[in-house]
Amino acid sequence: MRHDDPGLQPERTSLAWLRTEAVLGAIVLGFMRFVPGPGPVVASIGLLCLVPVLVLLFSSRESHRARVRGLDAGGGTYFLWRNLLLAGTVAALGGCALVLILLSA
């Protein structure tokens, strides 16, 4: 079965991923600016959390192309690693923020 809208659906999905990655990058930078704690520790955690954000951003072009190819072939392409990387980054950042806030209180 051929996909009826080969250009727009993958485009919307890719743009949603780009917005999510950009917002996560902004949240990491906000973490580095506003979370209390020892400066080197907060900076290290922030920089470590920026690495997956950059990986997601730099891989988004190839992911979009793979998504388009999958829809053209009549199927879909699912990137479990992207979901796990995003969820892991959010969980790690949230956990570290919670610990640093509780330790500074």
- Residue 3 belongs to a domain: no
- Residue 67 belongs to a domain: yes
Reading the chain (105 residues) residue by residue, the pLDDT tens digits are: 455 555 577 778 888 889 999 999 999 999 999 999 899 999 999 999 999 999 999 988 888 888 777 777 777 677 888 899 999 999 999 999 999 999 987
- Residue 2 belongs to a domain: no
Which one, of 35, 21, 3, 25, lies nearest residue 79 by Cα?
21
- The answer to whether the beta carbons of residues 3 and 76 sit under 8 Å apart is no
Q: How many domains does the chain have?
A: 1
Tokens of 44: 């290290």
Q: What is the pTM of this model?
A: 0.80
- Residue 92 belongs to a domain: yes
- Residue 1 belongs to a domain: no
Which one, of 25, 94, 95, lies nearest residue 56 by Cα?
25
Domain coverage including residue 47: 8-104
- Residue 93 belongs to a domain: yes
